[in-house]
Every structure is written in C-alpha cells, then in structure tokens.
Amino acid sequence: MGIAPFRGRRGFLTLLAAGLAAAPMVAACGTEQGNIITLYYADQEYVPGIVAACNEQAKGEYEIVHRVLPREADGQREQMVRRLAAGDTDLDLLGLDVTWVPEFAEAGWLAEFTGQNKQDASDDVLKTPLETATWNGKLYAATMNTNVQLLWYDKTLTPKPPKSWEEMLSMSQRLRDEGKPYQILFTGAQYEGLVVAFNTLVASADGHILSDDGKKVEMDSGAMSGLEMLRKVATSGLVSPSLSASQEQQVHEAFAAKDSKAAFQINWPYVWAVTPTLNEERAKDLAWAPLPGLGGQPGRATVGGFDIGVSAYSAKKDLAFKAALCLRGAEQQKYAAICAGVPPTLESLYTDETPIAPCKPEESQERPSMADAYPMKETILEELETASVRPLTPVYQNLSTVTSKLLSPPSDIDVDKTAGELREQLQEALESQGVLP
C-alpha cells in the first residue's frame, strides 16, 4: 500500500502551473456530458493539479472528474469494492493501492492494458513498480507513483550509517552507553506498516512468505530470520516504549522531537520535507541511507505507491485509457513528485533536472526541480532497482490482517510458535477461510 500519504510539503497544492487555474471550467465548456471520465482516487493533494493539466491537454475530448475517496486505504478500498461488486458503471478510473491489483483483476473489475496502451503504460517504468500493476502476466493498471522507505539518521551521532540490522543494534547500544540519543524507530503498530516492516526484513534475508505463484505459504529460513530479527529489535531495549503503537506519523514526530531519544528511523521520503517544520535544528543533521541488510544480505525495501486502473464496467474505456495514460504521464508524475513528495515510477525522471512552474504560484516564484525535492533521489532509485513487493495474491487483504495481528506486539513474538501460527492462518487466508475480506 501507499503508506503515509504526504501531508503538506508546501500546504495544500494548487495547479500544475499558474495558467491552469481555469482549466476545469474551460474543459467543461467544450466537453460533452457523455465524455466525462470519473476518477475514483484518494484525497491526495497532487490530484487536482494533474487532473487540471490532463483536462487542458484533452481540449474537450474528455473531462476527468475526481470523485474523492477517503485518505485511509481501507475506506478507499471499501467504497470501490462495493460499487464494483454491484457493477456500477459510474466508475471509469480507479486509484489502486499497489496491493489491490491482483484482487481487482481476479474479480474481473479491471480492463486489461493491451497493444499501444500497454506499451505506453510500460515505457520507462522501473521493473518493481511495473510488477505491482501486473497479474498473471497481464498488465491491468498504469503506475502513478511509487515509494520505498529509507534509513534516516542523525549524522552527528553516526557519521557513517549502519549497513546491517546487526550493525545498527550495535551502534544503538554504544550510543545508549554514551548517554546519547540511541533509539531505533519504525512502524510497530498493528496495521499495514508492521506488515511492511516484516516483509522488508524477510526480503532482506532473501526469504519468502509465500511461494512465487502466491498459492501456498512457505515461511522459509529467510522468513524465519526476519521474524527473529523483528523479535530481537523489539525486545532489545533500544526501541521506543511506544513501538507497538507507532505508525509513520508517530515515528517521524518522535525522531524530530526537541527531546528526541532517537538516532535512527525507518520511514518514507516525505520525512525530508516535514522534519524542518518540526525541528529545524535536527533537520540540519538529517541524513539518509539505503535500508540495512540482514544476515550478510543487502537491504531490500518494500515498494509502495499507487496504480491507476480502468474499470471493466466503464462505458467509455477508450477515453478512460487515454485519460489514465495522461494522469500517469511524465509531466504529471514529475509535478506530483516535486510538489507532493510521491516518487515517480519513470526511471528517466530521476535524472531530469528541468524545473517546473512554482508549486504555489501565489506565494513564490521558485521553480523547483527533482534535485530540490529529492536530494536523496539516487538512493531512492538504488532501492527501487532491488525493491521487493508484498505477496501478489487476490486475498492480500486477508494476509495483511492475519500477519499484523500475529506479529503484534512485536515484543511478544515467539519465533517458532509465531511462525507456526503464520503458516496455518496464512494458508487459511489464502483459501479465504476465517477472515473477512
């Protein structure tokens, strides 16, 4: 899923460029009612800008109307699932968390991208984000944005970041012994963030939770190593006492607090933008690195983000595909990346230095570029090239519910017992037993 939607690099965002302020009205004047394309998408601050830009480019051929879904992933999914299950033809475009594509495709709710549409939706897209839009070898969505967590640290405490979890624990203990900030912060609450943390540990140990075809539980030696490290960190005395209640916001707030006891946090790239608003002094010493590895293997981040699909029930699929390809186009992804903190899926944008129009024209004449918004872009790209995906299965929601429950709180993990429970209950979830979808 797209963990921790961005909450304001520069406050509520305006349009892609100052000249687009009237774009929705202009488009509406030249657009037939039958050419309205509905976009069911989360309440994200970058959406009005990219919608306005695409409506202007369409020149009346279509007009995209944003049907605003809740910020919370569960609320987004619930609203769309209910409508799609009823065959609602009002849905044209669907904003999909990266874990939902197999479920929606298997249910017959997504139209496949084929021919030129497939080519256009695949060109220049990084391998792992593209994988999230694919099911059973077919492309069912276009990638809108992606995300990976980084290791954030205070460079005055640890000039050289740890390369492994084992090294990070050692550094943390040394800092504690010296009476300095030492805590390791990550998402340990009973929700998707804990599942992401576990999946990252498993992938970093070259492990598997499910088989490659997603039909059976494996929980191999790498998965056991991930489970053991999660328990070890949680019981080390080197984490926040509130670990079991920590989501992304609590993690970055605890790291940026004036009296912070933290030396490290694992969190998404938006940390770079929000830390100065909480603690300018700590922001000066904020640094980043790839996620630490495990057992001699390099770290492998879990990919997040959003994809966009065309509803199988849409009566205007040809226009919907055109609109989808515009919304995930290079200029729109660049705008969302620079002005809203959501990393692009297009590889070429990570070396693009051309500035865009000011994100808030009424307040500033600054013309920001990718380098301004993403000084860590090379590290993000490095992680994306080796990133892991959460298990691709139509019943991922069930798996996530089971996993977060059995791993919470992390300090109570009994490796052998918990692994056995995961094997049993995840298999039941794969068979849709015992868990409500």
Confidence at residue 33, expressed as pLDDT on a 0 to 100 scale: 63
Confidence at residue 21, expressed as pLDDT on a 0 to 100 scale: 33
Classified by CATH at the fold level, domain 18-147+304-384 comes out as: D-Maltodextrin-Binding Protein; domain 2 (3.40.190)
Confidence at residue 433, expressed as pLDDT on a 0 to 100 scale: 54
Confidence at residue 23, expressed as pLDDT on a 0 to 100 scale: 36
The CATH code of domain 150-289 reads 3.40.190.10
Confidence at residue 32, expressed as pLDDT on a 0 to 100 scale: 52
pLDDT in tens, the chain (437 residues): 444 433 333 333 333 333 333 333 333 444 456 899 999 999 998 999 999 999 999 999 999 999 999 988 989 999 999 999 999 999 999 999 999 999 999 999 999 999 999 999 999 999 999 999 999 999 999 999 999 999 999 999 999 999 999 999 999 999 999 999 999 999 999 999 999 999 999 999 999 999 988 889 999 999 999 999 999 999 999 999 999 999 999 999 999 999 999 999 999 999 999 999 999 999 999 999 999 999 999 999 999 999 999 999 999 999 999 999 999 999 999 999 999 989 999 999 999 999 999 888 887 778 999 999 999 999 999 999 999 999 889 999 999 999 999 999 999 999 999 999 999 999 999 987 544 44
Confidence at residue 89, expressed as pLDDT on a 0 to 100 scale: 97
Confidence at residue 282, expressed as pLDDT on a 0 to 100 scale: 96
The verdict on pTM exceeding 0.95 is no
- For residues 272 and 283, what is the distance between their CA atoms, to the nearest angstrom? 8
- Which part of the chain is CATH 3.40.190.10? 18-147+304-384, 150-289
Confidence at residue 363, expressed as pLDDT on a 0 to 100 scale: 74
Confidence at residue 114, expressed as pLDDT on a 0 to 100 scale: 98
182: left (phi over 0), alpha (psi -120 to 50) or beta: alpha
